Structure 1
Amino acid sequence: MASLGEELLATVNKLQDLVFNTIGNDSLDLPQIVVVGSQSSGKSSVLENIVGRDFLPRGSGIVTRRPLILQLINIPSERDDKPGSDEVHVPHTPASVAGQDEWAEFHHIPGRRFHDFGEVKREIESETARIAGNNKGINRQPINLKIYSPHVLSLTLVDLPGLTKVPIGDQPSDIEKQTRNLITEYIAKPNSIILAVSPANVDIVNSEALKLARHVDPMGRRTIGVLTKLDLMDHGTNALDILSGRVYPLKLGFIGVVNRSQQDIQGNKSLADALQAERDFFRHHPAYRNMAHRCGTQFLAKTLNTTLMTHIRERLPDIKARLNTLMGQTQQELASYGDAAFTGPEHRGSLVLQLMTRFASSFISSIDGTSSEISTKELCGGARIYYIFNSVFGNSLETIDPTQNLSVLDIRTAIRNSTGPRPSLFVPELAFDLLVRPQIKLLEIPSQRCVELVYEELIKVCHTCGSTELSRYPRLQGKLIEVVSDLLRERLGPASTYVESLIAIQRAYINTNHPNFLGAAAAMHSVINDKQEKEKKAAIAEERRKRERRRLRELNGVNGTETPPDEEETEVPGEKAAQLPLRGQSSKPSRSMSPAVGRSHHNIASVLNGSRAGSPPRFGGQGTGSARDSFLNYFFGKDSSLPGSSATAPPPSSHVERPGSRHVSQNVEPSFAGSIRRGDTRMPDRNSIPEVAHEEMDGPPLSARDYDASPFGIDNDQAPAMTEREALETELIRRLISSYFNIVRETIADQVPKAIMHLLVNHSKDVVQNRLVSELYKEDLFQELLYEDDTIKAEREKCEKLLTTYKEAAKIVGEVL
């Protein structure tokens, strides 16, 4: 019977054969001995000594260009004089080699035995050239070679290309990097034992093999050192300290060997004779004879066999656990390609219905945010829809300025057009309606864009909710996406139409009784407060300028410098100060001003303040009515014939200011009106508004040229300045438009997302399952829909084969554990 160790090695060899063409050694990491050494270090000779046969290619440059997995399998001796015990013969003795049946087998040529090891050498060269080419490049795909012999100890060795420094001939320029990467790939596996071959005639500190081994095994726990060419060391030197472990300690130690020299090879010296000469060298050498039993190829083979058996015994439980993990992962991957119970023509309907149900459920869960495959890198599905509603749509509404595209001239023209040929006593409400409706229309474009963005996101969800199982059937997946896309496209129309109707509803009826609407009184109060605040700031600024000029004048007086006339401050008492022109106004009298204009500018201020010069208050019994009452009465035309004021009211022929006069301030622009036309809401000082004489009504009639220059003509740049009333009316309308527009904007921001969710999102979720069944669950479509993609089919078959391999491997391991 074979020993337990040989059974373990046979188990590993079976695993290696099993996974060679399926999963490779990368995932399973089987125990093996990896031979590492620099070029010309005697690496190949060591392997030939262990095998006892000359079977490896030789030559200049890199000869081993592919990994060689060498499985040495001990077979019973066929000699008649074989011993009765089951112990393995001492290998490689000249007597034992003669007349024994040995053969080699390659994994890529199953069933063929090579009895001539010269043919083995030629097949290695041929197979290397077939895969790696003839340009001396290396390839990571291994060659699997088994050697059956009664003269070998059971081992599994991996021969790797030798390390080189400088590319020679047609070798690739990065040959050193390629070789190092390939070697590191093998020795970095925890289950690999590293056999580091170093020549003894080179300083040990320069050993490339030990350097690589230390990189992956810094503690030296799984590295065996081999010293070759001990017979070529300089006279008087030896490697006793290295072999004893005093120079470079390794847990598994160093073993010295003597290989055939190049002269011996050329002289056809047999391996049997070489092994005998090796034994004689260690037995008679004065430095090594005391440790000859621990040197030589025979001791190396026994050490490798014992170490590998022990290593396999320690690692096999881990390999079994690894196999169980790989089986679970493979079963999960295979399940993602579909349930095997649904295969066959009789199950096509069930399979189609199952896939449609999963697709619909994935579509709904992606929108609801309950999908198990939600991305963590970006917003998607329902979260993206919320982002569209809250950020994209909300911000687009907030950026709309309701009066940005309304100029002062537009508002004034709308006010005048809404009154027709009649003069108005009040601010015309029709003008507000005419102006606010087009502004509400501005909300339609972002609302429709919101519908489109949600539609596009649903289409994206539809394309991403397919499973791996569904990807097996590309035609079915395409049909599912097509049906859902058609459903979404159908719902896009009603959603867009309803959103359009929401805007039309808001434009159809302007509800000025809305509780949040600012209203005329509140708007006018706001205008007056702004005016007073600006007047206060202007007065403070003017006072500051006066103090600065006074300080400069005093400094100039102290320095003896006269103040320039244009810098002297002229004190204008009383009404004369009111007659000074404002900044930006012409100081010349207006062409259309009557002599009454200069009579008293204080009269106009009195009108605006609710009283006349020398008479009781116009808008009430109090002498100084509030600013709000005076302006509201002024704008909305309340009757001025109040008690106590009718007796002092001037006759119609007296010079009274008429705010709606056609020729009011054509050349002399009031400061507030001018500021409004320039886009400035700063209110003017009431004392700076000149009084317009009644005689202006008797001026010459408008000519065609005057008409063209009017606000109703073509040349609006020469339009006359607005009156104080027009300016205030314009600002009032502007604030009312902003107030009402904000109300409508809030309503649209609330209603549009609700409409989209109801008409597009929720409706699609509710009917997607029924739509898929009604469109695709037809028996005549099953065969076409269940056409399997060739690539996916190959992946599924590979996965099935892999799972079978793992199960067989687990069964093999289970036989010895």
Structure 2
Amino acid sequence: MALGELRTTSLEALQNEDQRKVLDIVDKLRRAGLSSVLQRPQLVVCGDQSSGKSSVLEAITEIPFPRKENLCTWFATEIVLRRDFTSSITTKIIPDKNRPASEQENLRSFKKSIADFIDLPGLIDEATVLMGLDRNSQNSTRAFARDVLSIEICGPGRPQLTLVDLSGLIHAENKSQTAAEVELIKDLVNEYISNERTIILAVISAKNDYANQIILKNARKIDPNGKRTLGIITKPDYLREGSDNEKDWISLALNEDIYFELGWHMLKNRADDKHDSSFDERNKSELHFFSKGRYNDLPRTMVGIESLRSRLSTLLNNHLGQELPHLKKELERKLEDTVKDLKNLGDKRSTVVEQKQYLMQLSVKGHDVLKSAVSGHYENSFFGTVDTESSVDSSANLCGLRAVIQFLNLSFAENMRRYGHKHQISKKTGADENIAGLLSLPVKSPLPCGDDSDKDVDAGETANNPPAEDLGLVVPKKLNREEGLQWVLRVLQRSRGRELPGNFNPMLISQLFWEQSEP
């Protein structure tokens, strides 16, 4: 079927004009690349393997997906219906983020456009091989992938809608599907249906007891109240007419067994030998089937593809009305976080001029910080809070340069006062007259050695005034007054010159100072 000839009147039943306007907004978010950060409203078709999921998706969208015997979905397929001025079909692969970077780049490079749905099977085969899922190849190492094949179908009459067809849930591993692949599919399906903005279309087949179908257990676990789950029963034509089994399935469809707030719906897909029939033929066959037997007693709103589209239209409208305010808040919050992150990165510097400006700004800021550190003005955020638990000159407080220098100056002055002299002479008096007679000098007051010359120089040691040994200094030698005068006398005797008796060499003071200040 040529793209220009594809009828879309039944698709348009999914939405009214107001819904299209709302979904236009959602589609703009997708086109802006926000799909990875925002959970968008979408329909997800999921179920057990061979439950008829793809047939349901095909009936809803009226897009002829390729069919092969014994072929199951090996990866998630995203169908993006988008309104545009021109008609087109484009495909791309969204790679699994856990793949190596080289493989991701190779998958992203796959972007193809086709003009007719006839070319769709070949395109999907090409994407399958690229994902490494070609079962006819010996190089294929996997049966399923977390990659997503995105098919975007644009046209002037298209509704804005996203539907996802997921791989079928597998009950047990076999020679074609390993235990790891069974778990992978389970995780993939749960990841999609856990999105609170997703309407779950849980497809189950009447060919198998519904108690044994995994999708019901998973859907009820994730959506326990069934607020966003619609159960879809396929293949009712396999049930024996008038049997108890048929009665049980009709009871399920009436929401009398497993309860979903959104209820249940019944569809009759194409028979195995009718896959080549048109959508009109399919719909007529389905209408005829539900017009007889027990099915004729069921409300028309819960059987057939036409009523399903109407239900989905209402569900989407209500769902969007609930979710869009939350979507707006989430978008605003993420925008705020992004703006904050961009602000933390600073001004852009992609050009040489911007880089020069950035370096100049850094230089000015660095100069201002240094100037504040030297001046002792610590209002800049660079300095942070004062760490009172650490020493002033510790690495934690080094940013306050002026404070550190002041502290070190005071410590230096204290060390000079305590350890800067060679002799510590006490104030105690002794035989001053006798010694003075030897010098032929009058008795004078003691040598100035500080107010605490009689005190122990090591007394009062603190963290700011540690012992002399820790500083590599020598403790002054303690002398009493008599010993101090003897020291002066020895220096006097060894520095006499041509001065008259009773006088002393003027260099005596210098000699005494040089020796006393040796430390």
TM over 0.5: yes
Partners of 1:9 and 1:126 in 2: CA distance: 31
Per the alignment, do residues 503 and 202 of structure 1 end up closer, same or farther by CA in structure 2, a change over 3 Å counting?
A: farther
Return the letter of the residue paired with 1:114: I
Contact 2:81 2:159 in 1 (8 A): yes
Residue among 14, 19, 22 paired with 2:28: 14
Displacement, 1:189? Answer: 1.9
Partners of 2:305 and 2:427 in 1: CA distance: 108
> 1:386 aligned to 2:397?
no
**What's 1:305 paired with?**
313
Partners of 2:31 and 2:320 in 1: CA distance: 16
Contact 2:74 2:145 in 1 (8 A): no
Displacement, 1:349? Answer: 5.8
Contact 2:46 2:202 in 1 (8 A): yes
Q: Counterpart of 1:36 in 2: which secondary structure?
A: strand
**What's 2:114 paired with?**
114
Return the letter of the residue paired with 2:80: Q
Contact 1:197 1:225 in 2 (8 A): yes
What per-residue deviation string (whole Å, max 9, x for no partner) do you get for residues 785-810 of structure 1?
xxxxxxxxxxxxxxxxxxxxxxxxxx
Contact 2:348 2:354 in 1 (8 A): no
Q: Which has the higher contact order (CA 8 A, sep 6+)?
A: 1
| Consecutive unaligned residues in structure 2, runs of 5 or more | 1-11, 94-108, 134-139, 429-454, 468-519
**What's 2:225 paired with?**
219
Name the TM-score, length of structure 2 as normaliser.
Answer: 0.63
Partners of 1:509 and 1:128 in 2: CA distance: 95
Return the letter of the residue paired with 1:505: Y
Residue among 81, 84, 88 paired with 1:72: 81
Contact 2:89 2:152 in 1 (8 A): yes
**What's 1:4 paired with?**
18
Higher alpha-carbon Rg: 1
Residue among 709, 733, 749 paired with 2:463: 749
> 1:323 aligned to 2:308?
no
Return the letter of the residue paired with 1:283: S
Partners of 1:193 and 1:303 in 2: CA distance: 12
Contact 2:300 2:307 in 1 (8 A): no
Partners of 2:424 and 2:171 in 1: CA distance: 89
> 1:505 aligned to 2:419?
yes
What per-residue deviation string (whole Å, max 9, x for no partner) do you get for residues 477-518 of structure 1?
xxxxxxx9xx9xx98xx89x959957981995568999xxxx
Q: Counterpart of 2:195 in 1: which secondary structure?
A: coil
**What's 1:276 paired with?**
284
What per-residue deviation string (whole Å, max 9, x for no partner) do you get for residues 518-570 of structure 1?
xxxxxxxxxxxxxxxxxxxxxxxxxxxxxxxxxxxxxxxxxxxxxxxxxxxxx
Displacement, 1:12? Answer: 2.1
Return the letter of the residue paired with 2:222: V
Residue among 270, 277, 294 paired with 1:286: 294
**What's 1:576 paired with?**
none
| Number of residue pairs matched by the alignment | 396
Partners of 2:225 and 2:200 in 1: CA distance: 13
Per the alignment, do residues 174 and 61 of structure 1 end up closer, same or farther by CA in structure 2, a change over 3 Å counting?
A: farther
User: Which protein has the bigger strand share?
Assistant: 2
Contact 1:153 1:301 in 2 (8 A): no
Displacement, 1:292? Answer: 4.2
Within a 5 Å distance, the mapping from 1:686-697 to structure 2 comes to none
Contact 1:53 1:271 in 2 (8 A): no
Displacement, 1:105? Answer: 2.7
Name the TM-score, length of structure 1 as normaliser.
Answer: 0.42
Return the letter of the residue paired with 1:749: A
Partners of 2:305 and 2:425 in 1: CA distance: 106
Partners of 2:305 and 2:383 in 1: CA distance: 59
Contact 2:77 2:165 in 1 (8 A): yes
Partners of 1:58 and 1:745 in 2: CA distance: 98
Q: Counterpart of 1:174 in 2: which secondary structure?
A: helix
**What's 1:470 paired with?**
none
Contact 1:54 1:271 in 2 (8 A): no
Within a 5 Å distance, the mapping from 1:63-212 to structure 2 comes to 63-65=73-75, 67-72=76-81, 104-106=89-91, 113-131=113-131, 134-148=140-154, 155-169=161-175, 171-212=177-218
Identical columns (%): 23
Partners of 1:363 and 1:219 in 2: CA distance: 63
What per-residue deviation string (whole Å, max 9, x for no partner) do you get for residues 725-769 of structure 1?
xxxxxxxxxxxxxxx99x83742434259xxxxxxxxxxxxxxxx
**What's 2:270 paired with?**
260
Contact 2:270 2:282 in 1 (8 A): yes
| Consecutive unaligned residues in structure 1, runs of 5 or more | 77-100, 375-380, 390-450, 463-483, 515-739, 754-817
Partners of 2:366 and 2:24 in 1: CA distance: 50
Partners of 2:208 and 2:373 in 1: CA distance: 70
Partners of 2:62 and 2:355 in 1: CA distance: 60
Partners of 2:383 and 2:52 in 1: CA distance: 56
Displacement, 1:228? Answer: 1.0
